[in-house]
Structure 1
């Protein structure tokens, strides 16, 4: 199985390493933008928009993290150098 996401050299996290990883990342960004636009059009104030975005953004972020866990290298804190 080819990994879609590689571990960052410093810190904790991943970056897309294949076209599938980039597709998932772009889909998440598109989901954020789409969610913001739809909620912002229906809300009457900035606070309504921010409150309305919390749950959808947490869901999108959770799904992205799940895909990264399943299709990426095992996460751990890295300090650079060779692993």
Structure 2
């Protein structure tokens, strides 16, 4: 099956999900996610640990949604394809 060059995240070879990004947009998304989590930890965590958990959960859901949208369709893989 030919690879679509529009994917930011390729499917993992084993298991379910996505691997490391293959283009700058994917790397920018990962870097932005890490920066936002770190900034939230530095600011929100001091005042409200539960607020930080909610913030991190929201960012994780958004990040996963973007991976789903811009990544290869996820399915369980055993390494043969």
Task: Classify the TM-score, shorter chain.
Answer: 0.7 to 0.9
Offset at 1:40? Answer: 3.0
The residue number in structure 1 matching 2:58 is: 59
Determine which structure has the larger strand proportion and give its number: 1
The residue number in structure 2 matching 1:32 is: 37
Secondary structure of 2:10's partner?
Answer: strand
- The count of aligned residue pairs is 76
Structure 2 counterparts to residues 60-79 of structure 1, below 5 A: 60-79=59-78
Offset at 1:4? Answer: 0.6
Offset at 1:52? Answer: 2.2
Q: Distance in 2 between matches of 1:56 and 1:23?
A: 20
Offset at 1:79? Answer: 1.4
TM-score by length of 1: 0.82
- Could you tell me which runs of 5 or more consecutive residues in structure 1 were left unpaired when the two chains were aligned: none
Secondary structure of 1:38's partner?
Answer: helix
Q: Distance in 1 between matches of 2:51 and 2:36?
A: 14
Q: Per-residue displacement from partner, 1:24-51 (whole Å, max 9, x unpaired)?
A: 011011111011100234x3xxxx42x2
TM-score by length of 2: 0.83
